[in-house]
Chain A
Amino acid sequence: MTAPLLEVRGLTKSFGALDVARGIDFRLGTGDRHALIGPNGAGKTTFVNLITGVLRPSAGQVLLQGEDVTALDQAARTRRGIVRTFQINQLFAGLTVLENVYMAVAERRGAANDLWRPAGAHREVTGEALDLLEKLRLQDDALKPVHELPYGRQRLVEIAIALGSRPKILLLDEPAAGVPSAESHIILDMIEDLSDEIAVLIIEHDMDVVFRFARQITVLVSGAVLTGGAPEDVAADPRVRDVYLGEARHG
């Protein structure tokens, strides 16, 4: 039996008396399309932070293809293929769209350690960055400063940077958040087109998106896994309905 692509065992995180993750067990396999849902404050982003190494867990382990990566920092995990996007855009605001994506590709290919040759002389890096932009239909904006783009297109750059790191596991934190619905389909189409070699975990509030996209769902409540499984099973689970209806009742 080979080890799963990503395995999380008993992941726990406390801030003082506050438990934001409580003994989470979780698995992700190659090609998986997995959604993480739960009410506000359930600890979804915390979970992403723990997997990617932004936060150190108080207890538990993160294993990538059977290798314990719990002690590695964020950058080291990215280099091993655990890559994320952010709920709020984290772009290089003053730089062009091309430079934004170039940055990630150059890091992955090791070109970023080169102090001497001009960036433009690394044609393989530029080429790969431009391929990515073309794939996301951003090529016309390549030379614009990224902060001049409309928000929806900035959201695409956010994902393009992550793809530049060539993820094995891609964690998408509310990828369509803040994007007008007229434009959000571009982002969702793009996510659906992602290669089957990438395992995708998406955090999303919009249930239409979740059911269209996910083949498995995990429900997180108060930092713990409430339930998980196929979308239709989760949808039918009365406890899940309680959580969401309960949230609706409290506003």
Chain B
Amino acid sequence: MGAPPDISAAAAFMERRHRWRPAEALPWLAAVAAFFLFPDYTAFGTQVLIMILFALSLDLIMGYAGIVTLGHAAYFGAGAYAAGMLSAHLGWGEPLTGLMIAGLTAAAVGFVSGVVLLRYHGLTLLMLTLATAIMLQELANVQEEITGGFDGLLGISIDPIFGLFENDLWGRTYYWYALIVLFALFLIARRIVYSPFGQSLSGIRENVGRMHAIGSPVHRRLVTVYTISAGMAGIAGGLFAQSNAFVTLDVLSFARSGAVLIMLILGGTGRLYGAFVGATVYMVLEDELAKLSPEFWEFGIGLLLVLTVLFARRGLLGLIEDLGARFGKAKP
């Protein structure tokens, strides 16, 4: 005698939930195809991959745990400066350890700020995250001797990856480097999201009061995911510093915090792949429209945001899903 069919169906659903779906291969195939289709754009593509990673780190805390922040650049910047200064001041040019240190530094900053900030909510939290990031930016500005201040951090020189793959003029090596780092971190993010821990993050997003009532250590969970997210953002920042061999105060700016937030909203939150769609659409549009005129781009992204909020609150991926559902139903 087995369980009744509906029970086993539910159990089977839970066991299948985290399995890979065929469509999940698409973004990776597209990334590989883009390398061969647009050989002149690999350096640009690397920057897109970096922003995808950054947006993915934001999705972990915002899309899953529901933490809204206006200061996520704090961790991107911490990673970028850590990786940059490692090479510029200590002469440490080995890229992989550089990335690791970038991630650990940002995670440490994320842990400390998270322990303090995540006790707050709503507008207060928005303002605290915003002020923290700008404060770090001002700090970097003041500490000119070590950060290069307003002029930026120069003298970054990165060794060949594994001592073998030197970066070339078109940044081909770094494209693969960034893609592999993104894929590795994506695997980690994906595991976290489908784990019971990830499930509890959704619980915090949906109803934090009930999470307290079922005995969940909410603050500890939030600090944990915030630290992981900060570490990922830091690795994105580290990649940014290594691939550009240059770091400016801009990595910590409000504009960058805002841009990553916009990318994620545009693509769709709480679905991992929203970061891919959002960052790519945003950066390609920026590149294309800004060629016409910067105002064109600024107006365009503003309009896109307004339209997204009004008509596609679940982002572009959500919109595609809704359209797909409608289309699917229309079929006999």
Which segment, of A17-25, A101-109, A214-222, faces chain B?
A: A101-109
Q: Which residue of A lies closest to B203 (CB)?
A: A103
Q: Which residues of B contact A92 (CB under 8 A)?
A: 202-203, 206-207, 210
Q: In whole Å, how far is A184's beta carbon from the nearest beta carbon of chain B?
A: 22
Are B199 and A102 in touch, CB under 8 angstroms? yes
State A106–B300 Cα separation when bound (angstroms): 45
Are A139 and B218 in touch, CB under 8 angstroms? no
Interface residues of A in 14-57 (CB under 8 A from B): 52, 54
Q: In whole Å, how far is A198's beta carbon from the nearest beta carbon of chain B?
A: 16
Q: In whole Å, how far is A105's beta carbon from the nearest beta carbon of chain B?
A: 9
Per-residue CB contact flags for chain A residues 71-86 toward chain B (1 = under 8 Å, else 0) read 0011110110001101
Are B196 and A75 in touch, CB under 8 angstroms? no
Asked if A190 CB lies within 8 Å of chain B CBs, one says no
Asked if A119 CB lies within 8 Å of chain B CBs, one says yes
Known pairs A75-B212, A92-B206, A161-B214; A125 contacts B9 (CB<8 A):
no
Q: In whole Å, how far is B146's beta carbon from the nearest beta carbon of chain A?
A: 35
Known pairs A113-B197, A140-B6; A165 contacts B202 (CB<8 A):
no
Q: In whole Å, how far is A35's beta carbon from the nearest beta carbon of chain B?
A: 21
Q: Which residue of B lies closest to A90 (CB)?
A: B210
Known pairs A74-B212, A84-B213; A112 contacts B10 (CB<8 A):
no
State A184–B134 Cα separation when bound (angstroms): 55
Asked if B326 CB lies within 8 Å of chain A CBs, one says no
Q: Is the interface of A mostly helix, strand, loop or mixed?
A: helix
Which segment, of A5-13, A126-134, A204-212, A241-249, faces chain B?
A: A126-134
Are A118 and B18 in touch, CB under 8 angstroms? yes
Known pairs A103-B203, A161-B210; A79 contacts B215 (CB<8 A):
yes
Are A143 and B191 in touch, CB under 8 angstroms? no
Are B14 and A98 in touch, CB under 8 angstroms? yes
Are B14 and A126 in touch, CB under 8 angstroms? yes
State A69–B76 Cα separation when bound (angstroms): 42
Q: Which residues of B contact A117 (CB under 8 A)?
A: 195-196
Q: In whole Å, how far is B312's beta carbon from the nearest beta carbon of chain A?
A: 18
Q: In whole Å, how far is B270's beta carbon from the nearest beta carbon of chain A?
A: 9
State A23–B197 Cα separation when bound (angstroms): 41
Per-residue CB contact flags for chain B residues 200-234 toward chain A (1 = under 8 Å, else 0) read 10110011011111111110010010000000000
Known pairs A92-B202, A125-B196; A107 contacts B210 (CB<8 A):
no
Asked if A114 CB lies within 8 Å of chain B CBs, one says yes
Q: Which residue of A lies closest to B202 (CB)?
A: A95
Are B195 and A99 in touch, CB under 8 angstroms? no
Could you list some 15 contacts between A and B, CB below 8 A? A78-B212, A78-B214, A86-B213, A92-B206, A107-B216, A108-B215, A114-B195, A117-B196, A119-B14, A121-B15, A123-B15, A130-B10, A134-B7, A142-B7, A161-B210
* Chain A interface (Cβ < 8 Å from any Cβ of B): 52, 54, 73-76, 78-79, 83-84, 86, 90-95, 98-99, 102-104, 106-108, 111-123, 125-127, 130, 133-134, 139-140, 142-143, 161-162, 164-165
Would you list the 6 A-B pairs with minimal beta carbon distance, nearest first? A78-B215, A142-B10, A118-B18, A92-B206, A120-B14, A120-B15
